[in-house]
Amino acid sequence: MKYTYTEKKDTRSGFGAGLAELADKNPNVVALCADLIGSLKMEKFIEKAPERFFQVGIAEANMMGIAAGLTINGKIPFTGTFANFSTSRVYDQIRQSIAYSNKNVKICASHAGLTLGEDGATHQVLEDIGMMKMLPGMTVINTCDYNQTKAATLAIADFEGPVYLRFGRPVVPVFIPEDMPFEIGKGILLQEGTDVTIVATGHLVWESLVAAEELEKEGISCEVINIHTIKPLDEEIILKSVEKTGKIVTAEEHNYLGGLGESVAGMLARKRPTKQEFVAVNDTFGESATPAELMKKYKIDSTAVKEAVKRILEK
């Protein structure tokens, strides 16, 4: 099928909608926030279940400790703050209090990547996927649009174990069907092709579909796979595709070190060595500008995906 969109929404609003639904659906779900209720779109949850909401303030490390403690009596805590503050600021607490004892905490992280935009490099975390996927037992999810973020939020409530759910600030195309099931650890084949495999995550999924459509006009057939779960990685869907195409491009809004691309490269090195190109930020911090300007400058837009496909076909 061809994926199109009729509206644009921010993925963080998908999280807010899913969390609000969980307020009615699951009485064990509790929410914690570090003074960013509006940014995380948690207002509806608070309206529905004020007794299950905890405003921790600008004390993210304390929030992780409280969340870990809440799991002991069977609660399912969802923590909410920016991706930068959800990871690097509290990495020790996550490792020691959550991951080490496999606590059932859902670490929900908004404003990830360069598309945070004007807030600049100090807030544009580009290393969080690498940090979180290295923690034993941590599931890492990076969603691509509003519908998928809402579905993921609902799915992780039923999943036992710590989860890092990453999403963003800008409005982006909504193209995943509202009723598409969200299966943790299972990639989605969005478009079949024969010349090259494009494996994308997060905001780069739509950019990859745009690139594939433009390349099709030039006679280049791209297979596009949405990898929303970076850990555990769906090895089967990737291996099946590269058996056909023999070439792969990975695309992500993250440093090329430690992200989806490295996970795919490591897996392929062990199981089926394959020519690979990376569309990712080239080991640098960001800067302040609009999301579109940053994606263009740091080569993580549809044009960059097209260029990577052409490079690998020339090899």
So which residues are the catalytic ones? 60
Tell me the one-letter amino acid at 267: M
Give the DSSP letter of residue 161: S
226/241 Cα distance (integer angstroms)? 12
Specify burial of residue 24 (Cβ count, 10 A radius: 0-12, 13-18, 19+): exposed
Cα–Cα distance, 87 to 63 (Å, whole number)? 12
**Which residue is it, tokens 């809004």?**
253
Q: Which of 198, 246, 199 is nearest to 227 (CA)?
A: 199
Dihedral sign of CA atoms 230, 232, 236, 237 in order = negative
Secondary structure of residue 18 in the 3-state scheme: helix
* DSSP strands (E only) in 42-119: 53-55, 76-82, 106-110
Query: Which residue is it, tokens 């940014």?
Result: 39
Contacts 24+ apart (CB under 8 A), 35-40: 36/80, 36/81, 36/82, 36/110, 37/80, 39/12, 39/82, 39/110, 39/111, 39/169, 40/12, 40/15, 40/16, 40/80, 40/81, 40/108, 40/110
Q: Which residues partner with 277 through β-bridges?
A: 249
Bridge-partner residues for 171, per DSSP? 10
CB within 8 A of 258, min separation 6: which ones? Answer: 127, 129, 130, 131, 133, 134
